Structure 1
Amino acid sequence: MLKGSNTPVPTTALRVELGRRSGPGVPDADASALLLATGKVRSDDDFVFYNQPAHPSGAVRHEGKRTVGAGVADTLFVDLARVEGAIERIVLAASADGGTFGQVPGLYIEVTDAASGRVVARFDSPGATVETAFVLGEFYRRQGGWKFRAVGQGYGSGLEGLATDFGITVDEPRHAAPPAAPRPVTPPPPPAPAPVTTPPPSAPAPAPPRPTTAPPTMPPAPASPPTFSSASAPPPQARPVRLSKVTLTKAAPSVSLAKQGGTSGAMRVNLNWQMRRQLSGWGSRWGAGRGEIDLDLCALYELADGRKGVVQALGNAFGSLHRPPYIHLDGDDRTGAVASGENLTINLDHTRDFRRILVFVTIYEGADSFADLHATVTLQPQHGAPIDFSLDECTVPSTVCALALITNTGGDLLVQREARYLVPERGVSPQRTIDRAYGWGMNWTPGRK
C-alpha cells in the first residue's frame, strides 16, 4: 500500500504485525494501539502496549515479539467484531527504544486474518530520520464496516509524546523533544507432577521418588484467586500509565528489583505463548495456542528458614500469597491467550522470607519442544518498572525451561534471566530435571491435574 491509501478489511479477528530488520545497533521497536472515540481515548484503559497488554473489552491485546527470519516482529491481536460501538478508530503505532527510526531498517506493518493467515493489508513505511515514534496505520469505521489506512505519521517525542497527544496521562515527566524533531506530519484525513515433603536443607537429593502427602503449608487451590491488598496500593487506574520497562538479554541478564522500585506489594509473573503452525500456501507462521498446547508455569522456592517446595498446577499446589510460601499460582491456562496466560504472584512484602525462587515452565502436552514455541515472560512489580524477556533460542528437544532465578542478596531481590532449556532423561520428570540442575534436593512423586 502507498502512504495515505486505504483498503477494506474483514470485521473479524486480525493479527497486526509491526516488523523490522534486525542487526547490530538497531534499536528495539514496540507496538502499541490506541482506541479512539472522537479523536481521543476515553480513559487510559484505551491504550494497549507492553505495560498494559489487553483492552478491558478483549478486542485488542499485545501479543509480544518474535523472530521472523532476519527480523523481529511485535504483534497486536485485534478482533474488530468485539470493538465497542463508541470506538471510531484504532491507531496502530511503533515506538523506538534506544534510538530513532532512522536507525531501524525495513519498518513495516502487515495485517493478516487470524484464522487463515491471509494477508489483507501491508504498508512498508518510507525512510525515517529523527522520529522516535510512528503511527504506521489505523483501522477506522466506514459505512458499517472497517477499513485500514496506511498512515506513516512520525513523532520526535517518542511513545510518551504520541500517547499524550491522544489523551493518555503518562506517569513519567515529559521531556522536550529535540529541536530537530518534527511534530507529527500532516494528519491523515478523518475517517467517516505433584510436590511432596522435602528433606532438611543439608540433606542430599534422594534418588527414587516415593509417594507421600503434600506439605501442610501448601493449601488447595481456592475457589477464586486471592486478591492482594496493601494500604499503600492505589485502586486500579488511580495511577497514570507507566511507559518505562526493563528487557533482559544475554548481554544484560539481571536487574535489581529495588533499583526498579519493586520493594513492596505484589509482583505478577506472566507467561504467554504462541505456537508455530503450518498454513497451506503460506509457509511457517505463528498462531495463538487456542488449546493446542498446555504449558505450566511453576516456581521452586527456598525460604529463609530452609523450607523448600514447589508451586504448580500439578497436585493443586497453588501456594498462598499471605502465608508461606508467599507465592500463588492464579490458575491453569491451557490456551496461551495473551490477555491472561499463566500467572504467578509473589508477595514482595515478604522479601526477607525468601532465599531464592526459580520460576520455570514445563510442556504438559501439545508440543515436543520449546523450539516449536515463542513465549514471553513478564515480571510486573506493583511499584516499579516491568521486566520482560522472550524465549526464542531453543535448539534442543527441551520440555522444561528455567525462566528466571530470583535471589535475595542483602535484602534486595536480584532477578536473573535464565532461559535455560533442559532435556529430561528417559523416565525422569521435567520437575525432577529442573531440581537436579539447580540443586534444590526435593523428593518427587507422580501427580496429575
Structure 2
Amino acid sequence: MSMLKGTNVPVSAQAVRVELGWQPGPGVPDVDASALLLASGKVRTDADFVFYNQPRHASGAVSHEGKTTAPGTTTDTLSVDLSRVEPAIERVVLAASADGGSFGRVPGLYIRVLDAADGTEIARFDSQDATVETAFLLGELYRRQGGWKFRAVGQGYGSGLEGLATDFGISVDDSQRPAPQAAPAPQAPPAPQPAPAPQAPPPPPAPPVAPYSAPEPPQPPAGTPAPATPVRLTKVTLTKDAPAVSLAKQGGTSGAMRVNLNWESRRPEPKGWAAKLGKAVAGNGGIDLDLCALYELTDGRKGVVQALGNAFGSLSRPPYILLDGDDRTGSVSAGENLTVNLDQKSSIRRILIFVTIYEGARSFADLHATVTLQPQNGAAIDFSLDECTVPSTVCALALISNNGGDLVVQREARYLVPDRGVSPQRTIDQAYGWGMNWTPGRK
C-alpha cells in the first residue's frame, strides 16, 4: 500500500535497496536516482552526493547500482547499508531527476524501500501530482531514537538536479554551461576634436629604471587542503552524429569502469505453460544474452572475456577486464556487467565490447538494449542500440582504443550476421581483424 506524503514507517532492516521506478515510453524523459548524506541539513563535502557520476560513497554505505528494464517498467536502484552510515550522518535524502523533460511527462513514478536480505517491501510512495518539476525529493531515511525510519516527502524542484544538489550544499561544475552573451554597449556620438595646441620642446630623457616585477601571490599555509573539484552533473550520450568520446576529457582516467548491458523483449509476455517453460529455460522471457569483450594488450597478447568457457578475466592481472557473472534475464537483476581497470590503461591497446544471443531468440530484432559505461571518476556514457533489421545473433557495441595514453570510446552498434556454421565470436573477430584461433566452448 502506498504511503501518504509526510507519513513515516520504521525500518528495521540493516541494509535496504531503494528502487525508483516509472513507466518508459515515447516522449518520456529518462529518470535518475540519487542520494545525499546530510549532517545538520547539508552535505559535509561534495563526496556525500551519490549519483550516476559518483556511484559509491567512500564509507561504502550508499551506492548507485544503475538501471534495469522489464516490460512496462524501468527502475534505477540505490543500495543503502544503514549499519555503515557514519554517526555524523543524520539523514539520507533519496531524490530523482528527469533528463529531457519534466516529471509531468513521467507516468507511474514511485519509490520503494526493500529489505536487501529477502526483498520484502518495507515502504512505497507513489508520486501522483507532478507537473513542471525536473527533480524530486521523494523520500528520506533518517535516524530516530537509535533506529531508522523512512519518510515519504514528495518535494519538487523546477531547477533540476543542479537546483536540488546546490540546495543541500553541493558545488556544481558549470564550466560546460554556455556563457551568457552580453548586450553590446550603445555607441556614444563622436566627441568634437579640440584645436591642436602648440608643441612644447621635448623633455630630457628619464634616467633608466629597473624592470618592474609583480610580487608573487601569498602561498597558503602548509597542510591546507586543495580546493575540491565541483561535481559534474553532465551525462554523455553517444549517437550516430556524435559516436565517440574521450575518457580523459570526461574525467575517467583512473579506477574501475563498469560496462552494463540491459535489455528487454518487445515481444508480448508469454502466458500459462509457455511462460513457465521460458522462465525455466532462461529467466524472464527465455532470452539469454552474453556480454563479451575482445582485448588486445600493448605487449601483443589477445584474448576474449566471456561466460562461454568460463573466461571471466581478471582486474588485477591481464587482461585487466572482469565479467561479473552470467545474467540470464537482463531485467530481474542489473543485466550483465564488465569492469575495466583504468589504472592499467597503459597496458591496453584496444577492447571491443560485443554481445551474443546464447539462447531464447533468433535475432536482436525483438530486443531493446541499452549500454552504459560508468567510470569510477567521470561522467557516465550511454547509448541505445538501433533497431535490428537483419537476422543478427552478434552485435558489436563499443570499441575502446588507446590513443596516445587516452582511452577513446567509439559507439559501434553494428549488427552482424554469421555465415552458416560460423560462430558469433569468429564473426566478430573477422569483422574487426583480431586474428584469433577459435574452438567450440560451453557454459
Question: So what's the TM-score if we normalise by structure 2?
Answer: 0.63
Tell me, yes or no, if the aligned pair for 2:38 and 2:48 is still in contact at 8 Å: yes
1:255 lines up with 2:243 in the alignment: yes
| Cα-to-partner distance string for 1:169-192 (whole Å, 9 max, x where unaligned) | 21125989xxxxxxxxxxxxxxxx
* 1:329 equivalent in structure 2: 320
The Cα RMSD (Å) is: 5.1
Tell me, yes or no, if the aligned pair for 2:93 and 2:141 is still in contact at 8 Å: yes
Q: Equivalents in 2 of 1:374, 1:116: separation in Å? A: 28
Amino acid paired to 1:329: Y
Tell me, yes or no, if the aligned pair for 1:271 and 1:297 is still in contact at 8 Å: no
* 1:240 equivalent in structure 2: 230
Alpha-carbon offset, residue 165 of structure 1: 1.3
Alpha-carbon offset, residue 423 of structure 1: 9.0
After TM superposition, the structure 1 = structure 2 runs for residues 227-306 of structure 1, keeping only pairs within 5 Å, are 238-248=228-238, 255-258=243-246, 261=249, 265=253, 269-272=257-260, 298-301=293-296
Larger Rg: 2
Q: Equivalents in 2 of 1:257, 1:151: separation in Å? A: 38
Amino acid paired to 1:94: A
1:107 lines up with 2:109 in the alignment: yes
* 1:309 equivalent in structure 2: 302
Amino acid paired to 1:261: K
Alpha-carbon offset, residue 28 of structure 1: 0.9
After TM superposition, the structure 1 = structure 2 runs for residues 50-449 of structure 1, keeping only pairs within 5 Å, are 50-172=52-174, 238-248=228-238, 255-258=243-246, 261=249, 265=253, 269-272=257-260, 298-301=293-296, 309-310=302-303, 312=305, 329=320, 333=324, 342-345=338-341, 357-360=351-354, 377-380=372-375, 385-389=379-383, 402-406=396-400, 413=408, 415-418=410-413, 431-432=425-426, 434-436=428-430, 438-444=432-438
Tell me the secondary structure at the aligned position of residue 87 of structure 2. Answer: coil
Tell me, yes or no, if the aligned pair for 1:246 and 1:385 is still in contact at 8 Å: yes
Change in 2 beyond 3 A, CA 1:78/1:392: farther
Tell me the secondary structure at the aligned position of residue 160 of structure 1. Answer: helix
Q: Equivalents in 1 of 2:419, 2:9: separation in Å? A: 50
Alpha-carbon offset, residue 343 of structure 1: 2.2
* 1:18 equivalent in structure 2: 20
Tell me, yes or no, if the aligned pair for 1:267 and 1:379 is still in contact at 8 Å: no
Change in 2 beyond 3 A, CA 1:55/1:385: closer
Change in 2 beyond 3 A, CA 1:268/1:164: same
Tell me, yes or no, if the aligned pair for 1:359 and 1:405 is still in contact at 8 Å: yes
Tell me the secondary structure at the aligned position of residue 257 of structure 1. Answer: strand
Q: Equivalents in 2 of 1:132, 1:434: separation in Å? A: 42
Tell me, yes or no, if the aligned pair for 2:252 and 2:375 is still in contact at 8 Å: no
Q: Equivalents in 2 of 1:79, 1:175: separation in Å? A: 35
Q: Equivalents in 2 of 1:393, 1:55: separation in Å? A: 37
Unaligned residue ranges in structure 2 (runs of 5+) = 179-224, 265-275, 280-287, 328-332
Q: Equivalents in 1 of 2:293, 2:131: separation in Å? A: 44
Aligned residues: 362
Alpha-carbon offset, residue 258 of structure 1: 4.9
Tell me, yes or no, if the aligned pair for 1:267 and 1:348 is still in contact at 8 Å: no
Alpha-carbon offset, residue 403 of structure 1: 3.2
Moved more, 412-421 or 122-131: 412-421
Change in 2 beyond 3 A, CA 1:123/1:174: farther
Alpha-carbon offset, residue 81 of structure 1: 2.3
Identity of aligned residues (%): 55
Tell me, yes or no, if the aligned pair for 2:261 and 2:291 is still in contact at 8 Å: no
Alpha-carbon offset, residue 31 of structure 1: 0.5
| Cα-to-partner distance string for 1:327-356 (whole Å, 9 max, x where unaligned) | 951556459998xx64224589979x96x6
Change in 2 beyond 3 A, CA 1:67/1:83: same
Unaligned residue ranges in structure 1 (runs of 5+) = 177-234, 277-282, 286-292, 322-326
Tell me the secondary structure at the aligned position of residue 243 of structure 2. Answer: strand
Alpha-carbon offset, residue 236 of structure 1: 11
Change in 2 beyond 3 A, CA 1:333/1:149: same
Alpha-carbon offset, residue 49 of structure 1: 0.5
Change in 2 beyond 3 A, CA 1:320/1:63: closer
